[in-house]
Structure 1
Amino acid sequence: MTKACTFQLNRRCVDLRGDDPTESLLRWLKRQRLAGTKEGCADGDCGACTVALVDTDEHGRPQYRAVNSCLLPMGALPGRQVLTVEALSHGATELHPVQQALVDCAGSQCGYCTPGFVMSLFAGYYGGELGDGTTEGNLCRCTGYRPIRAATEVLALQPAAEDAFSALLREPADLPAGELAQYFSPLTVDAALALKAQHPQAAWVGGATDLGVELSHGKPVASAFIALDRIAALQTLDVAADVVRIGAGVALSQIEARLAGLFPALDQMLPWFAARQVRNRATFGGNLGTASPIGDLLPVLLALDATVHLHGPDGPREVAIADYFLDYRKTARAADELIVAVTLPRRNGSVSASYKVAKRQTDDISIVAAVFMLALDADRRVVESRLAYGGVAAVPRRATTVEDFLRGRRLDAATVREAQALLREAFQPLSDHRASADYRRSLCANLFAKFVAEHLPETLT
């Protein structure tokens, strides 16, 4: 009997029939005695468990994408190809160029984190992206980063080898619809909605990064899942003269690269969102769908006046971002609707910026996230303003009372001081183990002053 090929691991067919779709790829690899992929944090923070997933770029061309295996459910793998560090070398004497560069530059000491660095560099090596950002999602406790950076620089000076790994990227990359137990991966919006009608208890899944953390910590999850990461209609990103439409399934790392320079506030927030491997899977739609009050992208959407595009059994509809958040993790989206896109209007003449304050700036939940947009006339009077915050209420919120105060006023030092006083009273945040309510209120005021001082300093003279 021919062995069924559910997915390919290191170019070999694997039959997943009978496997748990909610088990992480990391734990599954350990059960297969593939010990090269290490478990450090199981949260997507350290990068020790990095593997290379064959995915596609915006043009549909195959590419290697470094991802955290600790956050990747087995249910997401049918039809996919994954490479681990075991696949790279030919025996003990013929190392892959990435491995050899780390050896030559003394980029490893205890070696525990090294396989993760190897796989991140492997993806960058064949993707033509080698720099400090290539391994920014990988942590090293003992080597320090100088020799690892040196190895990256060595690799950047040589063209990628023509080998079996580059040949793999020339193979067709079309993904079939997938199913493993109660984890479904449809190819169209209509198919996803049909599955939701058949399995109303199923949860929508984007890049599964949030789901991966919940599974890693043994938290209760839904009994079924409908993954949206294979739906081509959700992968589009269209830039027009007056608006940008971002498909709900576009990975954050692709948004970071393809929209660079268009929305400064988005540019500034994305690097702090999470590690590179997380951003390679996490999506705009996923961050919006979870509706966390400390979701880093949500204040950005509020400040940029986004529109959310939904699709359900009754067809498509639009919801202004100002009307989307209703209560703690409760939104205007119905349970049987899915997010298909977000549109951001492009406005000339405005100034925007974002700020994230956290105990660890990356890979940590915000104490307060703030995003500001101001438009001034020739007399420095405020024509339009949006002051959006996360971490200060049960939902991401705009300081509308302060926006009303600013409208029509000349922006100067006195106006900023008055706005700060109002901002200290605009919200009633909670105190928790991250920060006190008073500290959060102070941040709301001081971050606005910082924004004006950094981006509109002429108004303070």
Structure 2
Amino acid sequence: MERLRFFLNDRPVEETGLSPTTTLLRYLRDRAHLTGTKEGCAEGDCGACSVAILEQDGQGAPALRAVNACLVLLPMVQGKHVYTVEALKEGGKYHVVQETLARELGSQCGYCTPGVAMAMLEACHRKDLDEPWKLDAQMCGNLCRCTGYRPIREATSQVAGLRPPDRFARALAETQPEPMDLAYEAGAQRFFTPGSLEALWDVLEKHPEARFVVGGTDLSLEVTKRYAEPPLLVSLEALSELRVLEPRGGGHRVGATVRLTDLEDYARATCPPLERMLRYFGSRQIKNRATVGGNLCTASPIGDMAPVLLALGAEAVLRSRAGERRMPLEDFFQGYRRTALGHGEVLAYVDVPAQPVGARALAYKVSKRRELDISAVSAGFRVVVDGEGRVTEARLAYGGMAATPSRARRTEAALVGRPWTEATVEEALAKLEEDFQPLSDHRGSAWYRARVAKNLLRGFFHETLSEPRPRLAQGHTATVQVR
């Protein structure tokens, strides 16, 4: 039986006998007695439990990233450096983040302040906070019921990108990646982190009933909210083969374990529709852990990544010891929470093809809150228009409208061969009622969803009239930009 090994505030730690579904938050408070990290919602919404983890970004460079400790299972930090709010004060001197937050009156009761400070610490060591909206995106995962957000935002703006010569700068410069390989057992529970695909196939042959996990932002909720104790988990996080993120054949290859933070950075320069959906996917802490494959393999009808990837014509690439097989992404979703994955098989990549000449493409998300909320309706659209102004192809994908993310094929057919005009769009909208019969729930009534679905297609037409794949405006407050 292997021990869990990681670094906590630069101190090496070894643990054994702890349940592998112990969250990092519970470990910090109950075992390490580092009670500065607070528990609020225990589901990744409030940010009170934010800590910083030193790991590699999408380019392989070291990065300090804030994450929700309530959603991180302890074996997920194998070989990593974890920092809590107690690490900010060094040599008897408060960190610039702490001093600035206090000076700007960004704390009142103080309960959420440790999490706020750790999110600010990431901002302090980021190099890319070059637009004002990015400060909001950095801090949107932290709630504060006392002060309001103005003083917190002002404090963040003062420390963003400072990169002082502190212990974290030294760690970023000097720390070498540690292996994450792990075969851990405690009681009746096991947790494997294979370091290669061959090791993964070996584990799956012995344990075909294993559940996969990477970021844990979905599965960990079963632990924190339903008190589940999955008997066997296999993490794919250490498999470098699944972290590919690169241009390919005019399109893009996106590995299943690519974190959404890295994909958002990549998409900003390469794929505006993906960037738009990722901006409102969730908080920075969530995107620092959540992965492309995790979002797709839950096969949720309201998963945010599926509609835009369906619209862009993406393919799923599955791998097993027997080899590789490919399929259109729409065929990957077999039903509510069911995918085409067979035994011993993993989603390895998503291949997004080069977009056709004349393609107009965008993605939309509608939810009750602006950030960190589940979609009521989401959509990804791509329409190809020829030189004569006629539609030669239409791919209209929706989430929240059926048991799986689905294309509106009757509506697509009503557009193809017709001129791309407002009148054509209005005529085609009647077919949406044949494509979908949405349900009513606490996020929206069937009537509301049907109306929103039509309005998003209307908005897509108007928004892409002058620019086929427009980026979000500098001061954006939603994915919908039509005014």
Q: Which TM class, normalised by the smaller chain length?
A: over 0.9
Which secondary structure state, in structure 2, belongs to the residue aligned with residue 217 of structure 1?
helix
User: Which of 162, 171, 186 in structure 2 is aligned with 1:168?
Assistant: 171
Range that drifts further, 441-450 or 35-44: 441-450
Q: Is the 8 A contact 1:406 1:419 kept in 2?
A: yes
Aligned AA (1:41): C
Which secondary structure state, in structure 2, belongs to the residue aligned with residue 15 of structure 1?
strand
User: Which of 226, 230, 244 in structure 1 is aligned with 2:238?
Assistant: 230
Q: Are positions 1:156 and 2:160 aligned together? A: yes
Tell me the residue number matched to 2:118. 119
Change (3 A) 1:399 1:183: same
Q: What is the CA-CA distance between 1:219 and the residue it aligns to?
A: 4.8
Tell me the residue number matched to 2:29. 30
Tell me the residue number matched to 1:216. 224
Aligned AA (2:9): N
Aligned AA (1:448): L
Which secondary structure state, in structure 2, belongs to the residue aligned with residue 260 of structure 1?
helix
Tell me the residue number matched to 1:330. 338
Alignment of 1:269-284 (within 5 A): 269-284=277-292
Deviation track 1:238-260 (CA, whole Å, cap 9, x = no partner) reads 11351200111110000001121
How many angstroms apart in 1 are the aligned matches of 2:336 and 2:370? Answer: 24
Aligned AA (2:80): R
Q: What is the CA-CA distance between 1:385 and the residue it aligns to?
A: 0.8
Q: What is the CA-CA distance between 1:141 and the residue it aligns to?
A: 1.5
Deviation track 1:247-292 (CA, whole Å, cap 9, x = no partner) reads 1111000000112142222111112211110100100011111111
Tell me the residue number matched to 1:412. 421
Q: Is the 8 A contact 2:48 2:111 kept in 1?
A: yes
Tell me the residue number matched to 2:59. 59
How many angstroms apart in 2 are the aligned matches of 1:75 and 1:218? Answer: 20
How many angstroms apart in 1 are the aligned matches of 2:152 and 2:453? Answer: 39
User: Which of 322, 339, 352 in structure 2 is aligned with 1:344?
Assistant: 352
Deviation track 1:172-212 (CA, whole Å, cap 9, x = no partner) reads 11324123321111111221121111111210112111111
Which secondary structure state, in structure 1, belongs to the residue aligned with residue 454 of structure 2?
helix
How many angstroms apart in 2 are the aligned matches of 1:320 and 1:248? Answer: 15
How many angstroms apart in 2 are the aligned matches of 1:213 and 1:48? Answer: 16
Tell me the residue number matched to 1:374. 383
Change (3 A) 1:161 1:261: closer
User: Which of 143, 147, 154 in structure 2 is aligned with 1:143?
Assistant: 147
Range that drifts further, 324-333 or 68-77: 324-333
Percent of aligned pairs with the same amino acid: 44
Change (3 A) 1:87 1:335: same
How many angstroms apart in 2 are the aligned matches of 1:221 and 1:273? Answer: 28
Q: Is the 8 A contact 1:370 1:388 kept in 2?
A: yes
Q: What is the CA-CA distance between 1:157 and the residue it aligns to?
A: 6.8
How many angstroms apart in 1 are the aligned matches of 2:87 and 2:350? Answer: 39
Tell me the residue number matched to 2:39. 39
Tell me the residue number matched to 2:86. 86
Aligned AA (1:263): C
Alignment of 1:298-447 (within 5 A): 298-347=306-355, 348-447=357-456
Change (3 A) 1:187 1:380: same
Q: Is the 8 A contact 1:256 1:270 kept in 2?
A: yes
Change (3 A) 1:12 1:457: closer
How many angstroms apart in 2 are the aligned matches of 1:19 and 1:342? Answer: 35
Q: Is the 8 A contact 1:203 1:224 kept in 2?
A: yes
Aligned AA (2:397): A
Tell me the residue number matched to 2:198. 190
How many angstroms apart in 2 are the aligned matches of 1:176 and 1:269? Answer: 31
Q: What is the CA-CA distance between 1:22 and the residue it aligns to?
A: 0.3
Q: What is the CA-CA distance between 1:320 and the residue it aligns to?
A: 1.2
Q: What is the CA-CA distance between 1:20 and the residue it aligns to?
A: 1.0
How many angstroms apart in 2 are the aligned matches of 1:59 and 1:374? Answer: 32
Tell me the residue number matched to 1:253. 261
How many angstroms apart in 1 are the aligned matches of 2:95 and 2:140? Answer: 21
User: Which of 247, 268, 275 in structure 1 is aligned with 2:276?
Assistant: 268
For these two proteins, the number of residue pairs brought into alignment is: 454
Change (3 A) 1:157 1:413: closer
Please provide the CA RMSD for this pair: 1.9
Deviation track 1:51-86 (CA, whole Å, cap 9, x = no partner) reads 001111233232211100000011212222100001
Which secondary structure state, in structure 2, belongs to the residue aligned with residue 70 of structure 1?
helix
Change (3 A) 1:117 1:420: same
How many angstroms apart in 2 are the aligned matches of 1:111 and 1:235? Answer: 38
How many angstroms apart in 2 are the aligned matches of 1:58 and 1:433? Answer: 37
Change (3 A) 1:270 1:120: same
Q: Is the 8 A contact 1:76 1:183 kept in 2?
A: no
TM-score normalised over the length of structure 2: 0.90
How many angstroms apart in 2 are the aligned matches of 1:221 and 1:409? Answer: 55
**Structure 2 spans left out of the alignment, 5+ residues:** 130-134, 469-483
Aligned AA (2:440): S
TM-score normalised over the length of structure 1: 0.94
